[in-house]
A and B are shown apart, each in its own frame.
Chain A
Amino acid sequence: MAEEELIVRGLTGVDMSLRIAGPGTRSYAFLTDWLIRLLIALTLILLAVMYRLLPSGLSALTRVVEIPALVLAPLIYFLYHPVLEVLMRGRTPGKRKAGARIVTIDGATPTVGPLLMRNLFRLIDSMPVFYMVGLGCCLFTEKRVRLGDLVAGTVLVLEEADATRTLGRLGEAMRHSALPLEALRLIQDLLDRWRDLEKQQRTNLARGLLAKVDPQCQLLRESAPSEDALRDRLEALLGGRS
């Protein structure tokens, strides 16, 4: 049975948990990275091909541009993951987009050795096609790791920067507002997602929330309150302004 969390023994003796990324997050991160490196490699190859079309008088440029481009293209394609993971300390642009990062099994940032080792085993994980060994391994291992992670002692976990940010905002809200913690959290959640939601959806959610936490609110009596007014009211409640 796959574990949902990686329990890490903290330096003060207080354990902490990191949410383990599943095959979906892995695939999303990999595909994003794959597209980026493919784009870079194709650009370089295109550059090399374009130089072929130049007039023959410029053929001296071949050695300066075409060959380095053709040598660099596969290098970038194959070294993208190891180099970026080392430089970005366990992340790549794709992993960052997917909200994931690599950590060691004891919750530390991995060093160069484990990062190179997990990338080396892509040779096996990618077999026979489309990372089938890696994905299979991910589905059946306890910590949802591929073979490379198993050998290197690394795990892909979800980054929860939002939770830390919300902690700060809630800390501020709790100082000023008399509302219960759960209500503050719901308001904060709705305000965080405000732009991502459809207009009708956010208006309904805001009205529903206000009906629970602030039943006396004037806006609830209006037939079609403006969404700005609803948002202002929620922000006022969060800031302790009644």
Chain B
Amino acid sequence: MAADRDPSAAVWIRARSAEWQTLAAETAAVPQRAHATVDEALRTLRTYRAVARHLASARRLLPGSFLATALDSACATLHLAIRRQPRFGRARLLTLFRDDIPAAAASIRTTTLWIAALFVASALAGWWLIATYPALVSMIASDRMIDGVERGHLWTDQLFSLAPPELLSARIFSNNVVVTLGAFCSGILFGLGAFYMIAFNGLMLGGLLAFTHQYGLAHGLVRFILAHGPVELSVMCLAAAAGTALGESLIRPRLPTRTESLRRRAAELGPLLIACALLLLGSGLIEGFISPSRHITIPVRVAVGLGYWTLMLLLLSGKLFPANIRRTASRSSASAAGLSSR
């Protein structure tokens, strides 16, 4: 080994060994701390600087040695601890809802409108397709659904008898989340996946409406989707628009590489997906408790649907939070910035 042949390395090792023992003990303790006091944080910084200094010397005197590897590992452990972000607190949550979600929604506003247009066009195409070729309904509906409609019953009529509303909501929520997030994720295929998801879902909705219309049951289906549909479909369009934007970042990168561009766009759009998931949670509850109920009248359904849709618009435009909360938050973030700059 180099240290055994090189006297300067051997001397260096003997002189530093006691310090390494202390540094190793301090390094091992750092990841265990959930919260660090100011003194502990400063001590960690000092340890980091010392370990980095020893690492540089070890690489020069004993390149490729076990000692250099051990110091490298200690340095990386401390680096991770120092670069750790604060916990996701209330202030961060407020920033997410007040700034990040509206900014993400605004950045894809035009794309969302185009995606909504694609959805409507697909729904119209689906209506035309099934109205013209009724046999094709077997492509978008199961045999059980078709049999039921032919006997004059909508599949939505029996939802309450299939499962309790709580379970129904949970099942609907997970299904919607998978579809919506799938629309976003599939945008990575240069946006084509998102297009496919929207076109397919539009085609299905239009086709099913046309099919139920042939048996005089379309009003029942519309009645069913009135309360939860506006938000559910809007969220789907929103997620697909975000997926398309993700695909666009690959087609037309704004940063030097496509990977960097994709990463940046995903980070910008991430908050929007949190909003989508939350909105779908509410939508699932409405679909599980309100939509299948026979006792809830159409005006109530319209009110719920419109009310929830307005709430969604307020959330996406950043107007959901009162002005005083916004002022308090900006004051506290300004004072935090002042503290950090000092």
Contact = CB atoms under 8 A, between A and B. Distances in A.
B70 A12 contact: no
Given A17-B72, A167-B70, A181 B167 contact: no
A80 to B, nearest CB: 14
Interface of B is mostly: helix
Contacts of A231: none
Residue among B17, B23, B52, B71 having the largest count of chain A Cβ atoms under 10 Å: B17
A182 B263 contact: no
Interface stretch (A30-38, A52-60, A110-118, A217-225): A110-118
Nearest to A141: B259
Interface stretch (B81-89, B309-317, B322-330): B81-89
B239 to A, nearest CB: 11
A160 B23 CA distance: 16
A71 B166 CA distance: 8
A10 B52 contact: yes
B77 interface: yes
Contact of A109 (B27, B84, B263): B84
B3 A180 contact: yes
Given A109-B85, A151-B263, A167 B20 contact: yes
A70 B324 CA distance: 41
B223 interface: no
A107 B4 contact: no
A181 B4 contact: yes
A167 B170 contact: no
Interface in B264-313: 266-267, 270-271, 273-274
Given A107-B76, A116-B270, A14 B55 contact: yes
B14 A116 contact: no
Nearest to A111: B85
A8 B71 CA distance: 14
Contacts of B3: 180-182
Contacts of B88: 86, 111-112
Interface stretch (A20-28, A119-127, A190-198, A203-211): A119-127
A224 B273 CA distance: 68
Contacts of A98: none
B160 to A, nearest CB: 14
A163 B52 contact: no
B48 A11 contact: yes
A167 B21 CA distance: 7
Nearest to B182: A123
Given A108-B83, A147-B188, A151-B188, A71 B170 contact: yes
Interface residues of A, number: 56
B75 A113 contact: no
Number of contact residues on B: which range applies? 35 or more
A150 to B, nearest CB: 6
A10 B52 CA distance: 8
B80 A109 contact: yes
B153 interface: no
B26 to A, nearest CB: 10
B21 A67 contact: no
B1 interface: yes
B47 to A, nearest CB: 11
B208 interface: no
Contact of B52 (A12, A109, A182): A12
Contacts of B262: 150-151
Given A113-B267, A180-B3, A124 B185 contact: yes
B25 interface: yes
Most buried by A among B21, B71, B166: B21
A170 interface: yes
Nearest to B34: A89
Contact of A114 (B53, B65, B246, B267): B267
A166 interface: yes
B76 A123 contact: no
B83 A109 contact: yes
A171 B3 CA distance: 14
A147 B182 CA distance: 14
B188 A124 contact: yes
B66 interface: yes
A239 interface: no
Nearest to B71: A167
Contacts of B188: 121, 124, 147, 151
A164 interface: yes
B48 A78 contact: no
Contacts of B213: none
Interface of B: 1, 3-4, 13-14, 16-25, 27-28, 48-49, 52-53, 55-56, 65-67, 69-77, 79-85, 88, 164, 166-167, 170, 174, 178, 181-182, 184-186, 188, 246, 259, 262-263, 266-267, 270-271, 273-274
8 contacts: A78-B174, A109-B85, A150-B259, A164-B27, A168-B20, A171-B18, A171-B22, A181-B13
Interface of A: 8, 10-12, 14, 16-18, 63, 67, 70-71, 74-75, 78, 86, 89, 103, 106-109, 111-114, 116-117, 120-121, 123-124, 147, 150-153, 160-161, 163-175, 180-182, 185
Given A16-B76, A113-B270, A165-B28, 7 more contacts: A10-B75, A12-B52, A14-B52, A17-B76, A75-B170, A153-B263, A182-B4
